[in-house]
Amino acid sequence: MTPQTEPTPIAEPVPIDLAQVATVLEALQRKHDALPLDEDLATPKAIEANYVRRSLLRDTGSRLRMDAQRVREVEPTLVMLRDWISTLESCQRDLTAQLVKAETEATHSLRAERLTTRLRQSLTDVSNGPDLVHGGEFMTDILQQWFATYHVTPLPGETGIFAGRGGLHSATARHADCLRLLALAQADLERSLHAAQQLIA
């Protein structure tokens, strides 16, 4: 039986130009620095207006920096998961092709029948992640060889190939969650950027 292929992850949102954010932040700082000192103002009303303007520029800049940082924090995980999903999908295609061939031969070959069993287990591990035995990932030799052939290595600080990434099911779900987080973060950043641009216009 051919394993069911994972649905293609939804499209990633178009990134916001963070260089533009840096430019706007610099402009906000220049506006802030150009404000007069309170002691140079003649009336309490002028001092109060100056304080409000200074606070608005400072708070807008802080908000813009915070929203930009949220985007930066989500993007690396999103890229890692996207690349991992692509790797697992390639592995799934290769092993599925081998399985189809082995199933054809299994009717008259005990060796091919054993191979189909190992291939099915490998495909299950691709989808769900391998079993853990004594803290280590227990994979078939077929799956280990595929990763070795394509130079797939653990994430920095991890000892297992799937550690920190998961199988195709969980990686796809995490990728979708990251997309939602990035969409929210970018929406907040767009609002902050628009508000900042209005202040420096």
User: pTM, whole model, 2 decimals?
Assistant: 0.80
How far apart, in whole angstroms, are the C-alpha atoms of residue 147 and residue 168? Answer: 15
* Residue 197, C-beta contacts closer than 8 angstroms, at least 6 positions apart: 24
Q: What is the pLDDT of residues 98-121, one digit of tens each?
A: 999 888 877 777 888 889 999 999
Residues of the chain with pLDDT under 50: 1-9
Q: Rounded to whole angstroms, how far apart are CA atoms 180 and 130? A: 27
Handedness of CA 166, 167, 168, 170 (dihedral sign): negative
- CB contact at 8 A, 175 and 78: yes
The per-residue pLDDT for 201 is 84
pLDDT tens sequence across 182-197: 999 999 999 999 999 9
CA atoms within 13 A on the CB side of 187: 6
Packed helices 44-105 and 168-200: angle between N→C axes, nearest 10 degrees: 160
Residues 123, 88 contacting (CB under 8 angstroms): no
Task: Report the pLDDT value the prediction gives residue 40, as an integer from 0 to 100.
Answer: 86
